[in-house]
Structure 1
Amino acid sequence: MPQWIEIVVRSFAIIIGLFLITKLLGKKQLSKLSFFEYIVGITVGDIAGTLSMDRDLNLTNGVTSILVWSLFPLVTSQISLRNKKFRDFVEGNATVFVRDGKIMEHNLKKEKYTIDEFLEQLRKKDIFSVDDIEFATLESNGDLSVLLKKEKQPATYGDLHPDIPDQIEPQTVIMDGEILDEPLSQIGLNRAWLDAELEKRNVLLDNVFLAQVNAWGEMSVDLYNDHLKAAPFKEKILTLVTLEKCISDFSFLSVTASSAENRSSYQSAMTSLEELSRKLRPLLKG
């Protein structure tokens, strides 16, 4: 067998083996790997590269070495899932750098962190004053996590509006022109509803590249042909117009009703609808 063909065969075999090993080890991102797992990855890659190029090396022995190096972190991760003491020993614990606004100098020295390195990491998180920090910890993977003092935290929507409904992630209901039944069922909808929504927009299913439904049951559509546009969806505007019409009708009835009791009832209904219209107007006009 020519030398280059043997190298190609060995390389393809090792690439397939490494792919299977990475699928077996899981989906940890590189930044989430422990130091030990990082070293194992480098070593396995070095063995695989040398094995694919050096014809004098025994392929069986090389594959055995790769399997040993690869299976060891798999075994340790399985033990870590079941034993916290072993997990702490292998992966380490988070180290507190700031507690109650006070810097823990001995912990900085323990992790071989200079104050300059600590301040640099804070600046990368747009924090320029240590006095703004309530709590900070160095995670086992080397990331720095920081909790700002309450008065220094940016305001969120929940701070301004505490009584808000739970947010539900949008569901993709059409992809590449194919209806996805599982996401539809998760939000309590079906194909009949989807067909009706497409018909309102005068869009054919085959023309839809992507369609998503948000928490309020609103569907957004992206078409294959970017020059085409889905018909504008006027249901919100019609709802707002109907609401305003009801307010106008109740206003008229509150004046023309024969009895004071009926006029009071119509006036109360009109007031309730006006309050509802005030709350819904930003959503219905959006």
Structure 2
Amino acid sequence: MPDWFIVVVKSLSLLAVLFAFTKLLGAKQLSQLNVFEYITGIVLGGIVAIHTIDPGGNIVYAFIAMFIWFIVPYGVEYISLKSKAFRDFTEGKSTVFIQDGKIMEDNLKKEGYSTDDLLEKLRDNNIFLASDVEFAVLEPSGSLSVLPKRENRPLTAKDLGLKLAPQKEPQTVIMDGNVLHEPLANLNLNMNWLETELEKMDVSLENVFLGQADTNGQLYVDLYDDMIAVPQPSEVPLLLATLKKCQADLEMFALATQNENSKAMYERNSKKMQQAIDMVSPYMS
């Protein structure tokens, strides 16, 4: 059997095993690696590389070595889920860098961080003054989690005492000119709705590169032809504007009429319309 053929077969076989082991170790192996997982990844790749380029090597030995370097990290991960002490040992613990607005110099030195390193990490979090930070902690992954002081945090609806309606995540309903039926169903929409919305925009399905719908049932599209201008959805703003106009008209009618019964009716319905506007406004924001 030619050496090149042996190399091809061993490469494909070991690649398949490496892919399977990586999937079994979980997505964490592909994102934030601790020291143990980092070493495991390097060794597994090295085993595959060494046995791939050596046609005379016994592939069984490669499978045995890979299995050992798979089962040990797998066991470590399993034990880590059961024991916090073991997890702290293998993955490390978080280290507080700033507490109550004060920099913990001893913790910086313990982790080998200089003042410049800390400031760089803060800038990564869009913070340029250390005095703006209430609390900052270095995670085992190496990222810095930062809690700004309350006066430096963006205002939220909760801060303003506003109650907003629950909102589902937007769904991609068209991709590369093809309709995705499952995301449509997730928003309780159907093909008739989609075709109607595309007709309103005077756009054909085949010309849509990407189409997304939000929780209010508004469709946003990007076309293959970038020279074509697509109008932005306006149903919700128009509906809210129509309701407000009706309420204003009722108030105007109440002021214009001399009939007391009619005036009372207009004022009563104007208040009801305002209540309706107050109820639906959170769903239209």
Tell me the TM-score range normalised by the shorter chain: 0.7 to 0.9
Shift of 1:275: 9.5
Tell me: CA distance 1:123–1:209, structure 2 relative to 1, closer, same or farther (3 Å): closer
Contact 1:176 1:209 in 2 (8 A): yes
Tell me: CA distance 1:29–1:221, structure 2 relative to 1, closer, same or farther (3 Å): farther
Tell me: CA distance 1:229–1:151, structure 2 relative to 1, closer, same or farther (3 Å): closer
Shift of 1:169: 1.4
- Distance in 2 between residues matched to 1:194 and 1:240, nearest whole Å: 22
TM-score after normalising by structure 1: 0.80
Contact 2:132 2:149 in 1 (8 A): yes
- Distance in 2 between residues matched to 1:243 and 1:198, nearest whole Å: 26
What amino acid maps onto 2:26 in structure 1? G
What amino acid maps onto 1:4 in structure 2? W
Shift of 1:145: 1.4
Name the structure 2 match of 1:6.
Answer: 6
Which stretch shows the higher mean deviation, 269-278 or 124-133? 269-278
Matched, 1:125 2:125: yes
Name the structure 2 match of 1:113.
Answer: 113
Contact 1:35 1:141 in 2 (8 A): no
SS of the aligned residue for 2:188 comes to coil
- Distance in 1 between residues matched to 2:230 and 2:40, nearest whole Å: 52
Name the structure 2 match of 1:260.
Answer: 260
Q: How does 1:195-210 map to 2 (within 5 A)?
A: 195-210=195-210
Shift of 1:69: 0.8
TM-score after normalising by structure 2: 0.80
Cα RMSD (Å): 3.6
For structure 2, the 5+ residue unaligned runs are none
Contact 2:29 2:37 in 1 (8 A): no
SS of the aligned residue for 1:113 comes to coil
Name the structure 2 match of 1:57.
Answer: 57
Shift of 1:78: 2.4
CA displacement 1:246-271 (0-9 Å, x = unmatched): 35753564256463132133145457
CA displacement 1:136-155 (0-9 Å, x = unmatched): 11111121212121122344
Tell me: CA distance 1:108–1:227, structure 2 relative to 1, closer, same or farther (3 Å): closer
Name the structure 2 match of 1:152.
Answer: 152
Contact 1:202 1:231 in 2 (8 A): no
What amino acid maps onto 2:211 in structure 1? A
What amino acid maps onto 2:168 in structure 1? I
What amino acid maps onto 1:14 in structure 2? L
What amino acid maps onto 1:72 in structure 2? V
Name the structure 1 match of 2:48.
Answer: 48
CA displacement 1:112-151 (0-9 Å, x = unmatched): 3344433443344343443322111111112121212112
Tell me: CA distance 1:278–1:99, structure 2 relative to 1, closer, same or farther (3 Å): closer
SS of the aligned residue for 2:221 comes to strand
- Distance in 1 between residues matched to 2:126 and 2:267, nearest whole Å: 54
Name the structure 2 match of 1:167.
Answer: 167
Shift of 1:159: 4.1
SS of the aligned residue for 2:27 comes to coil
Using the aligned pairs only, state the percent identity. 43
SS of the aligned residue for 2:141 comes to coil
